[in-house]
């Protein structure tokens, strides 16, 4: 199953024109994303507000992540304060997967941002969390916190934005999106062999674990004939024909 490094802003001195800070609201956004990530089987590690961009990059590079996702809000340059709007999803120009993730996320945000034509995916070499991380990286500048309309959009739509971003992540990883966990106990029911736990809901996906007949597991969600399950800490997909809910 995919694992991401979730890096909400640690910039506590970037103030919203409507009150609050970039660090505050991007961490609230990350909080809102967590239930959707859990429900959809996307694992994550996360920085903390006490960290910096440099330590977040170091923590990301110390792991083996499928995507580095940085959450930020933007500010216009001096002389244009309060006059600029829009969402920018940055990626490193040499990263094919980073660009693909950025374009999917930008396309998703167009469905909820008030001015869709002001949402774009854009390459950059100037942002450390794009340039210096090992994993494919996306750096979201969600909207302009020095613009009252943009700031109000962020603060008033955190759950919708969180849902939208995780929906885009599931598209990027090629897995189903779920809004909430079922967390239903279940048992493996095979007449021979073992039940394969796979990385995606299809028989071509990599096998993550194998569960014998009678083994206990937890069904997190269902997608057609496939169940998203937790088997002894391994989260993956299993054929529902061989699982009995208890």
Determine the 3-state secondary structure of 53 from DSSP. helix
98: nearest Cα among 120, 121, 117: 121
Domains of the chain in start order, with CATH, are: 3-173 (3.40.630.40), 184-245 (2.30.30.40)
Q: How far apart are CA 161 and CA 176, in angstroms?
A: 18
Q: What percent of the chain has pLDDT over 70?
A: 100
Global pTM exceeds 0.85:
yes
Mean predicted confidence (pLDDT) in 160-183: 96
pLDDT at 223: 81
Task: Supply 223's token pair.
Answer: 């997608």
pLDDT per residue as tens digits for the range 20-62: 999 999 999 999 999 999 999 999 999 999 999 999 999 999 9
pLDDT at 118: 98
Where is 7: in which H helix or E strand?
strand 3-8
Q: List, as one string, the DSSP characters of 118-184.
A: GEEEEE-SS-HHHHS-SS-EEEEEEEETTSHHHHHHHHH-HHHHHHHHHHHHHHHHT----SS---E
The band of 150, judged by pLDDT with boundaries at 50, 70 and 90, is very high
Task: Supply 159's token pair.
Answer: 């759950």
Q: How far apart are CA 40 and CA 220, in angstroms?
A: 8
Number of Cβ within a 10 Å radius of residue 61? 15
The band of 224, judged by pLDDT with boundaries at 50, 70 and 90, is confident
Do 170 and 212 meet the contact criterion of CB atoms below 8 Å apart?
A: no
Crossing angle between the packed helical segments 22-40 and 158-173, to the nearest 10 degrees: 50
């Amino acid at each position: 199953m995919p694992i991401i490094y979730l890096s909400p802003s640690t910039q506590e001195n970037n103030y919203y024109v409507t009150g609050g800070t970039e660090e505050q609201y991007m961490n609230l956004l990350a909080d809102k994303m967590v239930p959707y990530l859990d429900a959809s089987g996307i694992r994550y590690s996360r920085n903390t507000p006490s960290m910096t961009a440099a330590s977040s990059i170091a923590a990301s590079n110390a792991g083996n992540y499928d995507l580095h996702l940085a959450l930020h809000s933007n500010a216009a340059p001096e002389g244009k304060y309060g006059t600029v709007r829009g969402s920018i999803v940055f990626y490193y120009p040499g990263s094919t997967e980073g660009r693909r993730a950025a374009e999917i996320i930008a396309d998703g945000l167009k469905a909820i941002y008030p001015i869709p034509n002001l949402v774009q995916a854009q390459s950059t070499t100037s942002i450390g969390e794009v340039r210096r991380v090992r994993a494919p990286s996306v750096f979201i500048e969600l909207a302009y916190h020095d613009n009252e309309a943009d700031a109000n959009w962020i603060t008033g739509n955190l759950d919708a934005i969180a849902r939208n971003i995780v929906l885009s992540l599931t598209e990027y990883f090629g897995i189903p999106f779920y809004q909430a966990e079922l967390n239903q106990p279940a048992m493996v029911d095979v007449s021979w062999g073992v039940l394969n736990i796979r990385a995606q809901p299809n028989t071509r996906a990599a096998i993550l674990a194998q569960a014998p007949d009678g083994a206990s597991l937890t069904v997190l969600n269902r997608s057609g004939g496939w169940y998203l399950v937790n088997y002894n800490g391994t989260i993956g997909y299993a054929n529902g024909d061989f699982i009995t809910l208890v």
